Amino acid sequence: MNPAFPKLYAILSAEMTASMETAIGRSLAHAGVELIQYRNKAASPGALFEISSKITKSLAGRNARFIVNDRPDIAWLVGAGGVHVGQEDIPVEDARAICGETSSRNTGASAFGAGFWVGVSTHNLDQVREAAKTSADYIAVGPIFPTDTKKNPDPVVGTEFIRSARKLTRKPLVAIGGITLSRAPEVFLAGADCLAVASDLVGASDPAARAREYLAVAADCPK
């Protein structure tokens, strides 16, 4: 586990936040979450820009890096701290070209460094190998477990996939897909640097309290 990389990555999915993205984002940042992504596949570009802008402003001055899903152009325009792209989205290097290594617009820098981050999703080892060759700041791997947060999820890969991916790259690995508090220890022990969590975090009765539970698990896992 990389001790310098954030341990918890909150996914604010539009289906779960009920237009409370800014409030939930602030509460998670206050609880110690240092990576927060907004994901809304159905939003128009204008709506995504508006919501992302509000989240960016709400997190200003907090130790949390805001990541926009899919759209590097919108991430740059709102001054977010990064963008996350999938296998069918714009390639990592093109996203980097749009946003640059650093940006004076970036208000989403965290204690883990200024500049703009680009993350990329991977679902098999060939994709991990290719992602490792790019300038991606982190590589997401999964889905680790079955998940209901995506309409057409990729095949479940399990924790053994994390172990295999760990041998292919020194970049931070972010595990995603069906992760719950009870499963968190085995995911960290398999080699994940960070857990990306959506429903078990945002869908909790008290997301901030649940975030603190996840961070306590991370603190207890071997570095």
Number of independent structural domains in the chain? 1
Query: Per-residue pLDDT for the chain (223 aa), expressed as one digit of tens each?
Result: 666 899 999 999 888 777 899 999 999 999 999 999 999 999 999 999 999 999 999 998 888 999 999 999 999 999 999 999 999 999 999 999 998 764 434 444 433 456 899 999 999 999 999 999 999 999 999 999 998 766 667 889 999 999 999 999 999 999 999 999 999 999 999 999 999 999 999 999 999 999 999 999 999 987 6
State the Cα–Cα distance between residues 135 and 119, nearest whole angstrom: 9
Peptide bond into 146 cis (omega under 30): no
Q: 1 in a domain, yes or no? A: no
- Give the CATH number of the domain where residue 216 resides: 3.20.20.70
State the Cα–Cα distance between residues 117 and 111, nearest whole angstrom: 13
Q: 3 in a domain, yes or no? A: no
Q: 55 in a domain, yes or no? A: yes
| Residue ranges making up the domain that contains 169 | 8-220
pTM score, whole prediction: 0.92
| Residues in CB range of 57: below 8 A, 6 or more apart | none
DSSP E strand boundaries for the chain: 8-13, 35-39, 65-69, 82-85, 117-122, 138-141, 173-176, 194-197
